[in-house]
Structure formats: structure tokens, C-alpha cells
Amino acid sequence: MNWEVQLRKGLWIPQADCWLDAQFPATRSVVSHAHSDHVGRHKELICSPPTARLLRARMPGRRIEHILPFGHKEALTKDVTITLHPAGHILGSSLIELQGEPGTLLYTGDFKLRPSLASENCATPKADILIMETTFGLPKYVFPPDDEIFGNIITFCQEAVADGRVPVLFCYSLGKTQEVLRALQPAGLPVMLHDSALRLTRIYEQFGFTFPAYRPFNADEVGGHVVICPPPHQKGGLLNRIHARRTALISGWALDPGARYRFRCDAAFPLSDHADFNDLLQFVELVQPKRILTLHGFAKEFSLTLRERGWDAWAIGKENQLDLGLGVSG
Ligand SMILES: [Zn+2]
């Protein structure tokens, strides 16, 4: 028997009678992490304890929550078990390991191999089949060391404050905000957070993360503060309430030439909560899969890179259905 995988709006694994990261209201789905493009209003969901807590804040409502701590193995069907491992992407983010007669299948969700200031460290369990995200699957996406980026962000903030401007850092409210907030600790500058980010930061604290002092955004007292808020194309932008400002995008896409112009900001810093090209290659080496399926971003290009290095690797396209025989080359 082989693993069967169907990609629709999420991955359907018939043998496990379960979806992975379904993006619609499914009967039962494992949720790898609490970012909105990995979840729907499911009847029953399976996730890590921090993911359950974050989802309750972001997506209230009634559902059956099946909370699975990292490293605990449970039965999904009489033939298939599930284990979650930390994925290093955001708080609670999980690699999903399924075990059954066809062997071990590992699905990464979003992951980051380099250690993050705002996530558990990524695990690297061995698996027969690896289904991995490849958002930054081109050789040009190699990020500078985090310390160098943090130093540059702090300098940007200090210079803006010295010039009488408010430094505004565009960060997604879940994950990036908390990482940047922790990175700002040595700067000693007071920080104001957008409402949604503030609520989520409190949840990080409940799971043992500590932060420098921060307070809710208040336009009347913003002078001398660093403001962390979602990028302007997201809801709840604060920009029109801060007049003397200097803005910076904090995103892996900052590596693209022209990012500053595209995102209309004064600076751009390439801090990402995803694996970069080198992380992706290293992760494959550590997991040692017999077959690899790539997903998201530069999936085709990265599967070709892997095949050139001798791996049995294929991109999963839309509406693909694959029968993953371990002995079958494709
Ligand atoms: Zn994510």
C-alpha cells in the first residue's frame, strides 16, 4: 500500500481520513499553525496547544479541538498515527508526521530551520515521504544572519527617533511582530503595538516568552516610540495617524530589488519566518526522505534543484492526485 495525497484547498490524505491545513470548513483537519491561510472553520481540528490558544483568539466559535502536545503519538484511524513536532515558524507551528503501513509521511506546513526568537526550534524527524513548503525555493533567497538584520533594524529606529520621526515597522501581527519586539530589546526604545498584535503577544507570554516593555498604540503619545503594525495593505493600518514617520517593511521579500518601492516604505529588512534556500536543502538532508513533494512558492524550481542533486522530488500542482509508491520513480 502507498500513501495517497490529494491537493485541493489543503491536502487530503484518504488513509488518515483527515485533511492537513484545509482552507475551508472541513469535517476534520490538522492545523499546522494559526496563520489564516492554513485554517478554516472546521468541525473538528487537531493542533498543538499554542495553536489552539491562538486560534481561539483569532477565530472564535464552537468546534471540537483535539489538542496534541509535541512528540505525543495518537491514532487517527486504526492503521494511521499522528505526531506533531515543532516547525520553527511561529509559536505552536507544527510539522505533521503520519505513520502507517506505507511508512512515515512528514508534512512541514510553514517552517524555518534557523532558530527564531519567537518560536520553538524546528525538529528534523526522519521520514520516507516529505511534503515541504518551498516559499523561498530559489538560490537568490539566502537571508543574512539574524543578528545583522536585528542590528540594522535597531539602527534604523534609533536614527529615526534622533531625527524627530516615528519609526514604523511593518510586521504581520502573528509571529513577525513578536520576533521583532524581542529583537528590539537591546535598543531600549519604548514600543507601541497595534491592537491585534498586542493580544497575540499576550498569548506568547502565557507560553513563557518574555518581551521588552510595550503598550497599545496611542497617536497622541507616539513621539519617541517605535510602532509595530501590520503592512499598509492589511486592515487596521495606523499610518494616517502618524505624521512624522519613517517606515520599514520587515519581510523575506525585502531581498527582492525594488521591495522598498513596491511596498512604499523608506527601508526594507529581510527578516523571514520561513526557511530560506539553504534551510530547505539542509532540511531535506536531515530528514533523508525517499521521495519529496514540494508545495507553495517556487515549488517547481526547487523540485528541479533537488532532482539535480539526486533526490526523487516533484512539485505538487493544483488538483494533483498522487499515489506515492516508495518504489516508483516518476
Ligand atoms: Zn505561516
Bridging pattern class, strands 214-216 and 191-193: parallel
Average pLDDT estimate for 133-157: 96
Nearest one of 96, 83, 77, 90 to 11, comparing CA atoms: 96
Q: Evaluate if residue 235 carries a pLDDT over 80.
A: no
- Domains belonging to the chain, first-starting first, are 3-140+274-324 (3.60.15.10), 146-269 (3.40.50.10890)
Report the separation in Å between the CA atom of 327 and the middle of ligand 1, taken as the mean of its atom positions. Answer: 32
| Helix/strand/coil percentages in the chain, nearest 5 | 30, 25, 45
Residue 13 DSSP symbol: E
Q: How many Cβ atoms are within 10 Å of 20's Cβ, its own excluded?
A: 25
Q: Transcribe 130-177 into DSSP letters.
A: EEEEETT-STT--PPPHHHHHHHHHHHHHHHHHTT-EEEEE--TTTHH
Report the separation in Å between the CA atom of 160 and the middle of ligand 1, taken as the mean of its atom positions. Answer: 30
pLDDT in tens, 92-139: 999 999 999 999 999 999 999 999 999 999 999 999 999 999 999 999
Report the separation in Å between the CA atom of 101 and the middle of ligand 1, taken as the mean of its atom positions. Answer: 30
Report the separation in Å between the CA atom of 162 and the middle of ligand 1, taken as the mean of its atom positions. Answer: 35
Report the separation in Å between the CA atom of 78 and the middle of ligand 1, taken as the mean of its atom positions. Answer: 31
Report the separation in Å between the CA atom of 297 and the middle of ligand 1, taken as the mean of its atom positions. Answer: 13
Report the separation in Å between the CA atom of 37 and the middle of ligand 1, taken as the mean of its atom positions. Answer: 7
Report the separation in Å between the CA atom of 34 and the middle of ligand 1, taken as the mean of its atom positions. Answer: 7
State the DSSP H helix or E strand holding residue 67, giving kind and residue range, or none if neither. Answer: strand 64-67
Neighbours of ion ligand 1 (CB under 5 A): 35, 110
More confident residue, 43 or 326: 43
Bridging pattern class, strands 191-193 and 226-229: parallel
pLDDT in tens, 171-221: 999 999 999 999 999 999 999 999 889 999 999 999 999 999 999 999 999
Mean residue pLDDT across the chain? 92
Q: How many Cβ atoms are within 10 Å of 187's Cβ, its own excluded?
A: 20
pLDDT in tens, 200-214: 999 999 999 999 999
Query: Alpha-carbon distance 29 to 299, whole Å?
Result: 23
Backbone angles phi, psi at 105, to 5 degrees: -115, 130
- Which residues partner with 322 through β-bridges? 5
pLDDT at 330: 31
pLDDT at 240: 78
Report the separation in Å between the CA atom of 175 and the middle of ligand 1, taken as the mean of its atom positions. Answer: 8
* Residue 322 neighbours by CB under 8 Å, 6+ apart: 4, 5, 6, 293, 314, 316
Report the separation in Å between the CA atom of 159 and the middle of ligand 1, taken as the mean of its atom positions. Answer: 31
CB-based burial label for 298 (10 Å; 0-12, 13-18, 19+): buried
pLDDT at 323: 57
